[in-house]
């Protein structure tokens, strides 16, 4: 009898979603009780692909883009497994990954959440274990101090270091691209906070998880590939602004209005500095390609949104 309900939220990520579902079919075995795909009103044929190629998966068509948190919560209402695997649509699950994560949760009832070691499309390690954001570590990251003084813990940002990903460890934050959650912890803590449309909901839930006395554990023996941008690549400027909005909501929720103001000031400094750097590079003939133009547009849109509150 399977014990895992897999929940996948997808928005216009058909090809990635097909690879994700194929990997689950190949690696999940008898552990998977059900796979629930919540489609956020995709227009790329994703629902038809799921229905035709993966008929055993339960397809939930939201009818609108509910965002990540709300759609995962919707998927959870259909789930009956002892564990919930929240898996991004652009993730490929490696052999034995779910088995090892499940063994961890089975062996330690104090663990509410576990996450694997994750590699990108280039097979390089992705930083998925990090710290809760503070004013200082956020300033270090936004102002580049963590890159100017690499290896200095005093100037470390909130992101973890590659060497921190070599061994199993309790974590403050695990990236929400791939979680295995104890259903009891999910029910006691509550679902993902739906004020977060996309981004920051993982940091928020990890904070609530720790505050409720549950452990989050990083397990490098379990592995997966996360291609990244499966949905956000469809609207990069929109999602950059959404990241700002979500982080502001997190700071206000956990640090009050003063925390929100501190984050807003730091974000303005970050995007303004990067905007100036991008403009300078273009003046000397660098970053003139499409990727450079997209980065310029993203930083300009973020600065404008911080000042005016307008996306366009």
- Tens-binned pLDDT, residue by residue, of the chain (312 aa): 469 999 999 999 999 999 999 999 999 989 999 999 999 999 999 999 999 999 999 999 999 999 999 999 999 999 999 999 999 999 999 999 999 999 999 999 999 999 999 999 999 999 999 999 999 989 998 888 888 888 777 777 788 777 888 999 999 999 999 999 999 999 999 999 999 988 899 999 999 999 999 999 999 999 999 998 655 555 668 888 988 999 999 999 999 999 999 999 999 999 999 899 888 887 877 766 777 788 888 899 999 999 998 776
Residue 91: its H or E element: strand 91-93
Q: Which residues pair with 179 in a beta bridge?
A: 86
Instruction: Quote the CA–CA distance of 213 and 140 in Å, as a whole number.
Output: 29
Instruction: Quote the CA–CA distance of 191 and 209 in Å, as a whole number.
Output: 11
Instruction: Quote the CA–CA distance of 244 and 232 in Å, as a whole number.
Output: 14
Instruction: Quote the CA–CA distance of 243 and 233 in Å, as a whole number.
Output: 13
pTM for the whole structure: 0.89
Task: Report angle CA 240, 266, 277 to the nearest 5 degrees.
Answer: 70
Instruction: Quote the CA–CA distance of 60 and 162 in Å, as a whole number.
Output: 37
Neighbour count for residue 166 (Cβ, 10 Å): 11
Q: Residue 287 has what pLDDT? A: 66
Q: Residue 303 has what pLDDT? A: 92
* CB-CB contact of 11 with 39 (8 Å): yes
User: Which residue spans of the chain are classified as CATH 3.90.550.10?
Assistant: 4-232
Q: Residue 2 has what pLDDT? A: 63
Instruction: Quote the CA–CA distance of 200 and 204 in Å, as a whole number.
Output: 6
CA distances from 233 to 24, 29, 34, 104, 194 (A): 23, 31, 28, 33, 22
Instruction: Quote the CA–CA distance of 93 and 186 in Å, as a whole number.
Output: 22
Q: Residue 235 has what pLDDT? A: 62
Q: CATH number for 4-232: choose from 3.40.640.10, 2.30.130.10, 3.90.550.10, 3.40.190.10.
A: 3.90.550.10
Q: Residue 1 has what pLDDT? A: 44
Q: Which residues pair with 8 in a beta bridge?
A: 37
Q: Residue 240 has what pLDDT? A: 86
Q: Per the structure block, which two tokens stand in for 163?
A: 């060497």
Residue with tokens 């009780």: 33
Among 139, 212, 220, CA closest to 174: 220
């Amino acid at each position: 009898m399977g014990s895992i309900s897999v929940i996948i939220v997808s928005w216009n990520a058909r090809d990635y979603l097909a690879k994700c579902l194929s990997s689950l079919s190949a690696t999940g075995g008898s552990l998977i009780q059900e796979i629930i795909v919540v489609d956020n009103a995709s227009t790329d044929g994703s629902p038809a692909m799921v229905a035709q190629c993966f008929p055993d998966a339960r397809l939930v068509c939201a009818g609108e883009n509910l965002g990540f948190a709300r759609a995962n919560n919707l998927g959870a209402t259909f789930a009956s497994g002892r564990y919930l695997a929240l898996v991004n649509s652009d993730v490929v699950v490696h052999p034995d990954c779910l088995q090892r994560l499940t063994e961890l949760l089975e062996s330690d009832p104090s663990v509410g959440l576990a996450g694997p070691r994750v590699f990108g499309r280039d097979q390089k390690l992705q930083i998925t274990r990090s710290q809760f954001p503070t004013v200082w570590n956020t300033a270090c990251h936004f102002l580049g101090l963590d890159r100017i003084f690499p290896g200095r813990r005093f100037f470390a940002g909130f992101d973890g270091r590659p060497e921190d990903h070599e061994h199993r460890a309790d974590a403050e934050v695990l990236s929400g691209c791939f979680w295995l959650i104890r259903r009891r912890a999910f029910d006691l803590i509550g679902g993902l906070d739906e004020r977060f449309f996309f981004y920051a909901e993982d940091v928020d839930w990890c904070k609530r998880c720790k505050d409720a006395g549950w452990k989050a554990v990083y397990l490098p023996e379990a592995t997966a590939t996360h291609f990244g941008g499966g949905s956000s690549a469809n609207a990069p400027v929109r999602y950059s602004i959404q990241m700002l909005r979500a982080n502001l909501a997190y700071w206000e929720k956990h640090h009050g209005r003063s925390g929100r103001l501190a984050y807003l000031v730091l974000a303005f400094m970050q995007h303004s500095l990067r905007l100036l750097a991008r403009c300078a590079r273009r003046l000397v003939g660098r970053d003139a390609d499409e990727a450079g133009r997209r980065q310029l547009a993203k930083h300009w849109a973020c600065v404008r949104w911080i000042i005016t509150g307008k996306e366009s």
